[in-house]
Structure 1
Amino acid sequence: MSAFPEASPTGLSLADYERKLIARDKTIDVLKRRIAQEARHSHATPFAILEQNVGLEKVVARKTMELENERHELEKALAELRITQTQLLQAQKMESIGQLAAGIAHEINTPTQYVSDNVGFVKSANATLLTLLDAALALADVARGKLADEPAMAEFDATLKRTKLDFLRRQIPGALDESLEGLGHIARIVAAMKEFSHPSQNVKERVDIREIINTTVTVARNEWKYVADLETHFSDDLPQLPCLRDMVGQAILNLVVNAAHAIADTLKEGIKEKGRITISAQQNGDYLEIRVNDDGSGIPAAIRDRIFDPFFTTKAVGKGTGQGLAIVYSTVVDKHDGQIRCESQEGVGSTFILQFPLRSSKEDDPACK
């Protein structure tokens, strides 16, 4: 099956739209040639020719207006088809990632679990052995006075000195704790990747937005951890949100990545070593409002009206497709009947405000209950 939709809801393909545009544009040229031809071959009076030309010009003007209207409609349809194609590719990509994540989770979680269990056992055993060692040292102190001349006692003291026992007492528990912490971090990353990639099957379900945000932050950690500190702020008693969980997660991911890139452009050694990204969620009337704020480069006023346009990007070739914010807009507005706006000041930073309705258009869907 093709990765691209072959036709729009009207039944026309992209190629059909493009051919239709070309055909309509040729109509004006045909009318103009007809005027010139009749002027050359007609034996009518000048007044009749003038009257005929005026009539033809009115037809041309009317036809031109109709063509312009059709052009706008067709260009809008083309843009919608392109967005649909991009979303379909993204959905297929997310589905593939989800399948891979399930396998990766199994492959990584199993060894991680038994390594974690073993390290936990070693930590417990270490405490037991240290207790036994203390008893042995106490016994050695008692025996040393009676066995001072014995070679075995001298060998014991020499070995005790070489082992740097005090150093091992301090370092081993910390090393084991760090190992357990690292293994726990691996488990959380794998779980977050699996959760983030879980497809919603285009069915809305009620979710805790805090879980989606925390999962997304974990998945995107490699994008922001070197350039920014990230904070989350959630209001108490946040209501559950009826939504397509994977699409909302993808939208937040796109905003976090964009924020990290905007901050990276402003970093200067010795002046600004790291920026800040803040994600907050709160109820605002009938909406759940999510804000993603950064102290990056900001968006120039001249292009703010275009940032949600498909394929619009200010990044260098190969660095951006211009689809990140278009997908965010489509997710919030088209898929969830929500609202989105951007507040930005060049050189200061940007804040994207996403508002999702708390009452889903599919409220009667069992998945939303």
Structure 2
Amino acid sequence: MQEAVSGKDSPYAILEQNLSLQQVVARKTEELETERHELQRALEELRLTQAQLLQAQKMESVGQLAAGIAHEINTPTQYVMDNVGFIQTASGTLLGLVDKAVGLAEVARPLLPEAEAMVEFDATLKRARLDFLRRQIPGALDESLEGLGHISRIVAAMKEFSHPSGGEKEPVDMRELIATTLTVARNEWKYVAEVETRFADDLPSLPCQRDMIGQVVLNLVVNAAHAIAGTLREGVRDKGRIEISAACRGDAMEIRVCDDGSGIPIGIRDRIFDPFFTTKAVGKGTGQGLAIAYSTVVDKHQGEIFCESEEGVGSCFVVRLPLDGGAGRST
């Protein structure tokens, strides 16, 4: 007679144990998968934080260099501007004197037509091309002063743009900040796009970290220029258009950077703010620009940033920053 099967060895008990074991394995697998995702997210945040730190250190270094460069360039530039201004004034005086001499020669010529001095004066006057000089000198001096003024504005913009805010929020005139940023980024967009700015008449100062928000606008403008550059065809489309606007929307200021470039494919739109994600060729982009912009706007200023885009038509990046500087909001 066979021995009775014990309860714990019965097929039902074994099945129950297997099911329980499978549940444990499934739960542990799920926990491990969750931990893996958390570690991956933590690693991405660590890499982004490192990138932001490097960016901050770079901006601080650039600020220090810009201050030195500003001094080194502004001093001789001021000398040249002063000298050109003096020449501009003196040239008017000298041209007036020449006019008097020509008038005197007109009176003396009938009386001394063969005099050596008169003949030499007429020959010199002819070689001087006085009418040409009278037309060209004022314009040349004006252009020189304009160019020197442009150098001064670029240096001042670079110095102001890269000056570190020290992590403190301060009231910032966004009209001025955007204008400064466009000056700094001019070399990126001037060959590929016309830029238009539109600001609300009642635009208030915005409490923010000036250098960080300037970097956000810079990244968006450069991205817009690159998006347009890929659509240009000689003889078909020589330049695109970038429009930057700022206006109040409720309790926030809304800054929009729009372009008529290639647009963003719908399949990657939800990834554009991911750290180190880029569609640019190797060496052309690190994938940090938009990720740092997102962190700056959302984490450090309690705002929001998103993109409206239509492939083949263009993109519009929208930044909304609280007018109270994010006071009382969770970080």
TM over 0.5: yes
Query: Hey, what does 2:17 align to over in structure 1?
Result: 52
Question: Number of paired residues?
Answer: 321
SS of the equivalent of 1:318 reads coil
Are 1:252 and 2:182 matched, yes or no?
Answer: no
CA distance in 1, matches of 2:260, 2:201: 26
For the pair 1:90 / 2:55, whether they are aligned, the reply is: yes
- Tell me whether 1:238 sits opposite 2:203 in the alignment: yes
Letter of the 2:303 counterpart: G
State the match for 1:314 in structure 2: 279
After TM superposition, give the deviation of residue 80 of structure 1 in Å. 1.4
Correspondence 1:173 to 2:138: yes
Mapped to 2, the partners of 1:47 and 1:360 lie a distance apart of 65
State how far apart, in whole Å, the 1-side matches of 2:63 and 2:192 are: 28
Amino acid corresponding to residue 289 of structure 1 in structure 2: E
Pick the aligned partner of 2:41 from 32, 56, 76: 76
Aligned twin of 1:304: 269
Q: Does 1:117 align with 2:82?
A: yes
Instruction: Give the residue type in structure 2 aligned to 1:233.
Output: R
TM-superposed deviation, 1:361:
3.2
Amino acid corresponding to residue 72 of structure 2 in structure 1: E
Deviation by residue 1:271-322 (Cα, 9 ceiling, x = unmatched) = 1001111111111111111010111111011111111111111111111111
Task: Indicate conservation of the 8 Å contact 1:204/1:362, yes or no.
Answer: no
2-structure distance, mates of 1:88, 1:269: 41
Q: Aligned residue for 1:225?
A: 190
Q: Residues 357-368 of structure 1 correspond to what in structure 2 (within 5 A)? A: 357-362=322-327
Q: For residues 220 and 202 of structure 1, what CA distance do their matches in structure 2 show?
A: 23
Q: 2 CA distance for matches of 1:229 and 1:60?
A: 61
Q: Which residue of 2 aligns with 1:151?
A: 116
Q: Which runs of 5+ in 1 are unaligned?
A: 1-42, 364-369
Q: 1:140 corresponds to which residue?
A: 105
RMSD of aligned alpha carbons:
1.4
CA contact (8 A) 1:290 1:353 kept: yes
Code of the residue aligned with 2:197 in structure 1: it is T
TM-score, with structure 1 as normaliser: 0.85
1:327 to partner: Cα distance = 1.1
Distance 2:16 2:265 in 1: 53
- The alpha carbon displacement at 1:44 in A equals 5.1
Identical amino acids, percent of aligned pairs: 74
Match of 2:253 in 1: 288
Q: CA deviation at 1:63?
A: 1.1
Q: Is the 8 A contact 1:233 1:281 kept in 2?
A: yes
Separation in 1, partners of 2:82, 2:271? 53
C-alpha distance after superposition, 1:315-343 (max 9, x if no partner): 11111111111111111111111111111
In structure 2, C-alpha distance between the alignment counterparts of 1:126 and 1:360, rounded to whole Å: 54
Distance 2:115 2:98 in 1: 21
**How many Å separate the matches in 2 of 1:320 and 1:360?**
31
Alpha-carbon shift at residue 211 of structure 1 (Å): 1.1
Match of 1:329 in 2: 294
The answer to whether the 8 Å contact 1:344/1:351 transfers is yes
- Normalising by structure 2, what TM-score? 0.94
Corresponding position of 1:27: none
| Displacement of 1:46 | 5.0
8 Å CA contact 2:212–2:296 kept in 1: the answer is yes
Amino acid at match of 1:156: F
Distance 2:227 2:27 in 1: 48
Q: In 1, Cα distance between the equivalents of 2:20 and 2:314?
A: 57
